């Protein structure tokens, strides 16, 4: 994955979706993966969205999630991270971000 700021697509969310959307198809075969991605998605939302008073779920804003992705991928680039065949913390987090983008339709104009 090209995680540099000058990657193939301008929007950091679009780059993550482009790379990690195929991994979401693995949900049908890996129930443990669904749980792990759900935990990562919840952690991202918790970091970006204040707890709602009405008990509703947390929905990240496109701008906030884009900033998060920029910072996260900068750290991955600095550490020379390489995407594994399976899943590590970073791959799970990026897959969760992809899921959030899809579920909340964050690439819609």
Is 10 inside any structural domain?
no
CA distance 14 to 79: 22
Measure Cα distances from 78 to 15, 81, 106 in Å: 18, 8, 27
For residue range 18-70, list pLDDT tens digits in order.
999 999 999 989 889 999 999 999 999 999 988 777 767 788 999 999 999 99
Q: Is the pTM here over 0.75, yes or no? A: yes
Q: Is residue 49 part of a domain?
A: yes
On whether residue 33 sits in a domain, the answer given is yes
- Is 11 within a domain? no
**Residue 18 structure tokens:** 């482009």
Q: Is residue 17 part of a domain?
A: no
Torsion of CA 14, 60, 23, 32, to 10 degrees: 170
């Amino acid at each position: 994955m090209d995680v540099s700021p000058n990657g193939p697509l301008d929007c950091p969310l679009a780059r993550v979706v482009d790379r990690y959307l195929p991994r979401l198809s693995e949900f049908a075969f890996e129930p443990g993966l669904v749980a792990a991605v759900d935990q990562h998605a919840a952690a991202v939302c918790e970091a970006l969205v204040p707890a709602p008073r009405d008990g509703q779920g947390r929905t990240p804003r496109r701008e906030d999630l884009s900033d998060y992705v920029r910072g996260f991928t900068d750290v991955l680039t600095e550490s020379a991270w390489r995407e594994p065949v399976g899943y590590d913390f970073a791959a799970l987090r990026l897959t969760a971000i992809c899921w959030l983008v899809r579920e909340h339709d964050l690439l819609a104009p």
